[in-house]
């Protein structure tokens, strides 16, 4: 057997030898085996073959292993195992495919940079603060608003053209995608050299707030003006008085929807960012994915389902039909929250406690309660947003608008993080014959 090459590791002053607890990048044998998912004998074989260079821990008889070397070895082992099979497993719902420090999914809901989203919705309760937390990792102490940055492009003309060729109610994600495309006049080089990524990020959010005017009573883009909370711009565009209670409700909606780890649209934004696309193009990629029937399309279906109920008799008939058909119900039973989506719970409670209320909002809450009691299903955030919108008398499609504006802040954070990673995301496929 080959002799083991070991190195004595010391701290920077070269007086006190290091231990695994002193340096996070050094793991003991048990931790190394866990990371590689191998037995101790296999670990020692890697060392004997020169695949790992252990670091002698002079305070004990064992060796330490550099995390960077272990991660590199794991990637090489994964590749040898067959890229197709690995890709199929990794891309399956719920399997990690990359490392991120932005959002962690927990039973209590998402945590943004270590802060529980439901806590952030209460304090500071300001969307701008949470957006900056997602982008920078720092949560500002004081609540503040951004100065409005109206879009320079003729957004209204583009939205009017879309309205002419579409007789149906406007789809929010389409409005946002058109607006982002209109604003995309800078190359990635110009964006980065100008140092104005934050400027572009804010401009996008203000523009999307202005798009809410297409849902409001005027049916037109509303140019944001003044230095007031983004939630106020949204409410005014929707034609709703921005009272303190309404501002709190909209801020909570934006915050709770701001990020949810690697959803499909978020991953699309990261793929675009990984190959050098500009910020606007990355957001358009996310919006295009979000428009899929399983995401925003399903959200619209869910809203139509709830808004279409006019009586308790109709409600119970609908519940009975759902139970009879055993059909999948959009907006309910999120696989990541088997005990219920805490974001939906928070939004529904907020709608009940702060909203002016309406018969339709009460009926929607009764519908949610009945489904849970009779079928055991829990509402997702989409339902919470719809109920909140009904309680505050917001126009149809407002729930999707609130979700889209909030989530854009998260997409921007992922774009920034992916750029720092400096690698192109390129999963591998598993080839197989058709069998014909």
Whether pLDDT at 293 is above 80: no
Whether pLDDT at 43 is above 60: yes
Which residues are 104's β-sheet partners?
111
Pick from 197, 207, 337: which is nearest to 261 by CA? Answer: 337
211-223: average pLDDT: 92
Pick from 138, 152, 120: which is nearest to 252 by CA? Answer: 120
Contact 169, 214 (CB under 8 A): no
pLDDT value of residue 84: 45
Which residues are 103's β-sheet partners?
112
- pLDDT-derived band at 280 (thresholds 50, 70, 90) equals very high
pLDDT value of residue 415: 97
Whether pLDDT at 23 is above 60: no
22-26: average pLDDT: 57
Let me know if the fold of 7-81 is the same as that of 92-430.
Answer: no
Q: State the chain's mean pLDDT as an integer.
A: 83
Return the exposure string of 293-319: e unless at least 16 CB atoms fall within 10 Å of the residue's CB, then b. Answer: eebbbbbbebbebbbebeeeeebeebb
Contact 415, 370 (CB under 8 A): no
DSSP, collapsed to helix, strand or coil, labels residue 18 as coil
Whether pLDDT at 344 is above 80: yes
104-122: average pLDDT: 97
pLDDT value of residue 271: 96
Give CA–CA dist 378/371, Å, rounded: 8
Whether pLDDT at 316 is above 50: yes
Tokens standing for residue 53? 């260079």
pLDDT value of residue 230: 98
pLDDT value of residue 12: 34
Tokens standing for residue 98? 């990359």
Tokens standing for residue 226? 């003044």
pLDDT value of residue 5: 36
Strands 7-8 and 55-56 come out as parallel
Winning range, highest mean pLDDT, from 10-24, 59-73, 75-89, 122-136: 122-136
Contact 263, 411 (CB under 8 A): no
Helices (H), 49-152: 67-80, 83-90, 117-122, 127-136
Summarised one tens digit per residue, pLDDT across range 222-235 is: 999 999 999 999 99
The region of weakest confidence among 53-62, 280-289, 350-359, 423-432 is 53-62
Q: Is cis: bond before 124, omega within 30 of 0?
A: yes
Spatial neighbors of 412 by CB under 8 A, at least 6 apart, are 131, 134, 135, 201, 204, 279, 283
Q: CATH for 92-430?
A: 1.10.580.10
Percentage of the chain with pLDDT > 70? 82
CA atoms within 13 A on the CB side of 245: 11
pLDDT value of residue 55: 81
The topology under which CATH files domain 7-81 is: Multidrug-efflux Transporter Regulator; Chain: A; Domain 2 (1.10.1660)
What is the DSSP annotation of 28-70? -HHHHHHHHT--HHHHHHHHHTTS---EE-TTSSSEEEEHHHH
Tell me which of 94 and 306 has the higher pLDDT. Answer: 306
Summarised one tens digit per residue, pLDDT across range 165-207 is: 554 556 888 899 999 988 887 767 777 777 778 989 999 999 9
Per-domain residue ranges of the chain? 7-81, 92-430
pLDDT value of residue 197: 86
């Amino acid at each position: 057997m080959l002799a083991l090459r070991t190195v004595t590791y010391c701290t920077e002053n070269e007086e006190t030898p290091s231990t695994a607890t002193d340096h996070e990048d050094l793991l003991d044998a048990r931790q190394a085996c866990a990371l590689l998912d191998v037995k101790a004998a296999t670990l020692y074989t890697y060392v004997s073959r020169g695949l790992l260079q252990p670091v002698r821990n002079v305070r004990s008889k064992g060796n330490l292993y550099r995390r960077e070397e272990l991660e590199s070895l794991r990637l090489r082992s994964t590749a040898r195992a067959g890229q197709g099979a690995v890709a199929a497993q990794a891309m399956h719902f719920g399997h990690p495919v990359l490392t991120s420090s932005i959002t962690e999914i927990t039973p209590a809901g998402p945590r943004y940079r270590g802060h529980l989203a439901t806590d952030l919705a209460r304090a500071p309760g300001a969307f701008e603060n949470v957006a900056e937390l997602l982008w920078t990792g720092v949560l500002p102490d004081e609540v503040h608003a951004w100065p409005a940055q109206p879009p320079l492009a003729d957004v209204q003309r583009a939205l009017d053209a879309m309205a002419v060729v579409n007789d149906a109610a406007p789809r929010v994600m389409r409005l946002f995608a058109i607006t982002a495309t209109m604003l995309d006049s800078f190359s990635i080089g110009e964006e980065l050299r100008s140092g104005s990524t934050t400027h572009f990020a804010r401009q996008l959010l203000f523009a999307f707030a202005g798009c809410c005017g297409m849902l409001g009573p005027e049916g037109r883009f509303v140019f944001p003006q003044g230095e007031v909370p983004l939630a106020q711009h949204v409410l005014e565009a929707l034609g709703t008085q921005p009272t303190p209670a309404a501002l709190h409700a909209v801020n909570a909606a934006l915050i709770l929807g701001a990020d949810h780890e690697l959803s499909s649209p978020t991953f699309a934004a990261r793929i675009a960012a990984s190959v050098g696309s500009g910020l606007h193009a990355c957001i358009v990629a996310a919006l295009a994915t979000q428009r899929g029937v399983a995401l925003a399309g399903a959200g619209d279906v869910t809203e139509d389902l709830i808004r279409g109920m006019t009586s308790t008799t109709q409600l119970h008939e609908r519940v009975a039909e759902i139970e009879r058909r055993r059909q999948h119900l959009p907006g309910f039973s999120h696989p990541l929250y088997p005990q219920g989506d805490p974001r939906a719970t928070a939004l529904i409670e907020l709608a009940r406690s702060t909203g002016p209320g309406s018969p339709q909002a009460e009926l929607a809450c009764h519908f949610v309660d009945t489904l849970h009691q009779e079928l055991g299903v829990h509402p997702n955030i989409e339902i919470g947003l719809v109920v909140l919108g009904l309680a505050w008398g917001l126009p149809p499609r407002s729930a999707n608008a609130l979700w889209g504006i909030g989530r854009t802040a998260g997409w921007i954070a992922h774009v920034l993080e992916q750029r720092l990673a400096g690698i192109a995301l390129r999963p591998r496929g598993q080839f197989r014959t058709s069998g014909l």
